[in-house]
Amino acid sequence: MKTVHVSRTINVPADTLWDHLICYDTFAEVEPGGIDLSRFRGRIMREGDDISVPLRIGPFPAGTWTIDVLRVDPDNRVIKTEECGGPVKRVARTMVATWLAEDYCRYDDHVVIDAGMLSGLVAARVRRACQARQERLAALLENA
């Protein structure tokens, strides 16, 4: 197993970030390839959601990616999911929007990956994907 933690300060209030984190629309817009969440546009993430979407590695189909939403905690601005698909046995993801000041906050992705012998390779890909998602999300929110 491997663990990835990516953090970024975003120049918007924590509640604004939270309002976007719980929207599948946001992830459909900022997710860097591989997982297509477009059919969930208009939906808000809720505890108990269990969704499956096609998974692609580059241009190649790689099976199905499943996301189980375990926790959506608006009081603490925390989302926890369990995900799997393709060669990945388990991804435990925690996303947190932390208030830092009135006009800015921190967004943390904490991800534990079990992909057997491929865990190191998958962790490197997950780190890049989290960084890209956070950069795209910051650009989306800060330029709104």
Report pLDDT digits (tens) over 48-63.
999 998 888 778 888 8
Q: In this structure, what DSSP letter does residue 137 have?
A: H
How many Å apart are CA 85 and CA 37, to the nearest integer? 15
pLDDT value at 32 more than 90: no
Q: Give the pLDDT of residue 38.
A: 79
Q: Give the pLDDT of residue 56.
A: 80
The three-state secondary structure class of 30 is helix
Which one has a higher pLDDT value, 30 or 2? 2
* Domains observed in the chain: 2-142 (3.30.530.20)
End-to-end CA distance of the chain: 38
Tokens at residue 2, please?
């491997």
pLDDT band at residue 35 using 50, 70 and 90 as cut-offs: confident
C-alpha 103 chain-centroid distance:
22
Q: What is the mean pLDDT of residues 81-108?
A: 95
Q: What is the mean pLDDT of residues 21-45?
A: 84
Tokens at residue 50, please?
């269990």
Percent helix, strand, coil in the chain, to 5, is 30, 45, 20
* Contact by Cβ (8 Å): 17, 97: yes
